[in-house]
């Protein structure tokens, strides 16, 4: 169809108004007197309206990654966002390699390829490549991962690899310290001290040595009530927030809960669930999260997996991103898992405004 310049202008104006309306409804927030952002009033109704509109236009941003992926570890390195997931879609989670995805706006993601191929790189495991975690120290990227239910560590000079096995054997051998030794999550505190959280069936934390590839002690039991797996640590202000997943990853009731403490070693009493299924929207098994905290901004994003839509299950999962807000008392507003995801790109820079609606999917 051919447009005249006037019709073309009217069409552009209409599109701009529609984008503006969707953006206003979706990202409705109210500045809190303390400078924190809290969700705007009646956001549930506003979101429901936007859900319908977005679905009608077929512009869902969730899932953010193509294909089946799970256990996403999000990171920001040098103005680029990365997600390190488990490659999903295999019976009994039999995947053999890890890939990484990158983005400059949290909405559009590019597969950067395989970063660690177990049969090629490891001498001690060939499959069950699960739930990687990433840390950067002294210009070296450390990839902690589960392989054959032991925890390994690999290093690279680049966030996109290739990663090389740092030890030639597991960092933590299979089924030790009373837990299934999977789901490693590295955390470097402001004082430079590094910790590794891990475990399914129980939560453990241990300090890492300065070299990042050896343990500086014996793992400590920090299992909170309801814990199953998927440990995550976030520091906000002086408070340590510990997140974990509850129930079995093959259950629609797989969900994320959290607790907080004044030490990275806990104790972390369970405060409550902050991410769970929404069967009315067909969103099930929302769990194994990580959190993106934008530097210099009190702005947070929940990155998690759910059963793929349509037809997913515990072996066919997909990765999503939704906004996460804190209350003024430091508790967390339950995250609303959405079909539409983020509708505006997010700038990684603390000095720039978020990328405009033009990057909306
Ligand atoms: O992806 C394999 C396993 O499923 C992970 O290690 C668990 O956290 C669960 O998500």
Q: Kindly state the average pLDDT of the residues 244-265.
A: 98
What is the CA(250)–ligand 1 centre distance, in A?
A: 9
Evaluate whether residue 153 is within a structural domain: yes
Residue range 261-317, pLDDT digits in tens: 999 999 999 999 999 999 999 999 999 999 999 999 999 999 999 999 999 999 999
Known catalytic residue: 121?
A: no
Please give the span between the terminal C-alpha atoms of the chain, in angstroms, as a whole number: 24
Q: Which domain holds residue 122?
A: 69-324
- CA atoms of 136 and 212, how far apart (whole Å): 10
Evaluate whether residue 62 is within a structural domain: no
Whether pLDDT at 245 is above 50: yes
**157 & 291 share domain:** yes
Preceding peptide of 310 cis, ω within 30°: yes
**157 & 217 share domain:** yes
**24-28, 177-181, 335-339, range with the lowest pLDDT:** 24-28
Whether pLDDT at 111 is above 60: yes
**19 & 80 share domain:** no
Residue 65: name the closest of 81, 48, 47 by CA.
81
* pLDDT band of 75, cuts 50, 70, 90: very high
**91 & 166 share domain:** yes
Q: Which atom of ligand 1 is nearest to the CA of 86?
A: 1
User: Using an 8 Å Cβ cutoff, are 69 and 320 in contact?
Assistant: no
Residue 254 host element (H or E): none
Domain count, the chain: 2
Whether pLDDT at 229 is above 90: yes
**197 & 287 share domain:** yes
Residue 108: name the closest of 331, 334, 308, 341 by CA.
341
pTM: predicted TM-score of the whole model, two decimal places: 0.84
Top mutation candidate among 132, 149, 197, 249 for ligand 1, by most atoms within 8 Å of CB: 249
User: Using an 8 Å Cβ cutoff, are 272 and 215 in contact?
Assistant: no
pLDDT for position 60: 75
* pLDDT band of 349, cuts 50, 70, 90: confident
- 241 alpha carbon, distance to own chain's centre: 15
**12 & 110 share domain:** no
**50 & 186 share domain:** no
**83-87, 114-118, 352-356, range with the lowest pLDDT:** 352-356
Q: Which atom of ligand 1 is nearest to the CA of 314?
A: 4
What is the CA(302)–ligand 1 centre distance, in A?
A: 17
Q: Kindly state the average pLDDT of the residues 82-98.
A: 98
Evaluate whether residue 351 is within a structural domain: no
**151 & 30 share domain:** no
- Taking CA atoms only, the protein residue closest to ligand 1 atom 2 is 130
**39 & 162 share domain:** no
Evaluate whether residue 95 is within a structural domain: yes
CATH number at residue 214: 2.115.10.20
* Ligand 1, CB within 6 Å, residue ranges: 70-71, 86, 93, 130-131, 146, 182-183, 229-230, 249, 288
* Residue 9: Cβ-neighbour burial (10 angstroms; 0-12, 13-18, 19+): exposed
Evaluate whether residue 25 is within a structural domain: yes
- CA atoms of 209 and 194, how far apart (whole Å): 7
Evaluate whether residue 340 is within a structural domain: no
* pLDDT band of 354, cuts 50, 70, 90: low
**81 & 159 share domain:** yes
Helix (H, G, I), strand (E, B) or coil at 98: strand
pLDDT for position 207: 98
Residue range 193-204, pLDDT digits in tens: 999 999 999 999
- CA atoms of 141 and 98, how far apart (whole Å): 15
- Taking CA atoms only, the protein residue closest to ligand 1 atom 9 is 249
Known catalytic residue: 71?
A: yes
User: Using an 8 Å Cβ cutoff, are 158 and 146 in contact?
Assistant: no
**137 & 204 share domain:** yes
Evaluate whether residue 347 is within a structural domain: no
Evaluate whether residue 345 is within a structural domain: no
What is the CA(5)–ligand 1 centre distance, in A?
A: 54
Top mutation candidate among 73, 183, 199, 246 for ligand 1, by most atoms within 8 Å of CB: 183
**42 & 73 share domain:** no
More confident residue, 3 or 138: 138
Of 15, 34, 57, the domain-final residue: 57
Selecting among 121, 165, 229, 318, the annotated active-site residue is 229
Residue range 4-56, pLDDT digits in tens: 344 334 434 433 333 333 333 333 333 332 333 333 333 343 344 334 434 44
Count H helices, E strands: the chain? 3, 21
Quickly list DSSP for 314-359. Answer: TTBEEEEEEEE-B-TTS-BPPP---SS--SS-----TTSPPP-GGG
């Amino acid at each position: 169809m051919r447009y005249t310049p006037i019709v073309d202008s009217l069409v552009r104006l209409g599109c701009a108004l529609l984008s503006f309306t969707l953006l206003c409804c979706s990202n409705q927030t109210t500045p809190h007197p303390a400078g924190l952002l809290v969700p705007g009033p009646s956001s549930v109704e506003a979101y429901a309206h936007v859900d319908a509109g977005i679905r009608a236009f077929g512009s869902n941003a969730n899932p953010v990654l193509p294909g089946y992926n799970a256990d996403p570890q999000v990171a920001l390195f040098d103005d680029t966002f990365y997600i390190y997931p488990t490659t999903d879609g295999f019976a009994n989670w039999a995947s053999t390699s890890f890939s990484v995805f990158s983005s400059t706006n949290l909405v559009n993601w590019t597969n950067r390829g395989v970063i660690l191929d177990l049969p090629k790189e490891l001498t001690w495991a060939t499959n069950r490549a699960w739930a990687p975690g990433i840390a950067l120290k002294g210009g070296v990227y450390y990839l902690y991962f589960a392989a054959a239910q032991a925890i390994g560590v690999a290093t690279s000079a680049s966030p996109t690899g290739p990663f090389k096995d740092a030890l030639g054997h597991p960092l933590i051998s299979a089924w030790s310290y009373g837990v299934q030794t999977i789901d490693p999550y590295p955390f470097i505190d402001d004082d430079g001290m590094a910790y590794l959280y891990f475990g399914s069936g129980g939560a453990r934390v241990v300090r890492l040595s300065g070299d990042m590839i050896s343990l500086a002690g014996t793992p400590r039991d920090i299992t909170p009530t309801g814990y199953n797996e998927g440990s995550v640590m976030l520091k906000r202000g002086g408070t340590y927030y510990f997140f974990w997943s509850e129930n079995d990853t093959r259950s629609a009731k797989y969900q994320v809960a959290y607790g907080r403490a004044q030490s990275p070693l806990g104790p972390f009493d369970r405060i409550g669930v902050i991410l769970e299924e929404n069967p009315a929207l067909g969103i099930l098994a929302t769990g194994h999260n990580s959190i993106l905290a934008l530097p210099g901004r009190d702005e947070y994003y929940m990155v998690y997996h759910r059963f793929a839509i349509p037809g997913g299950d515990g072996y066919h999962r997909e990765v999503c991103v939704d906004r996460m807000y804190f209350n003024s008392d430091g508790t967390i507003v339950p995250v609303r898992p959405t079909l539409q995801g983020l509708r505006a790109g997010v700038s990684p820079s603390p000095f720039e405004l978020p990328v405009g609606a033009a990057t909306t999917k």
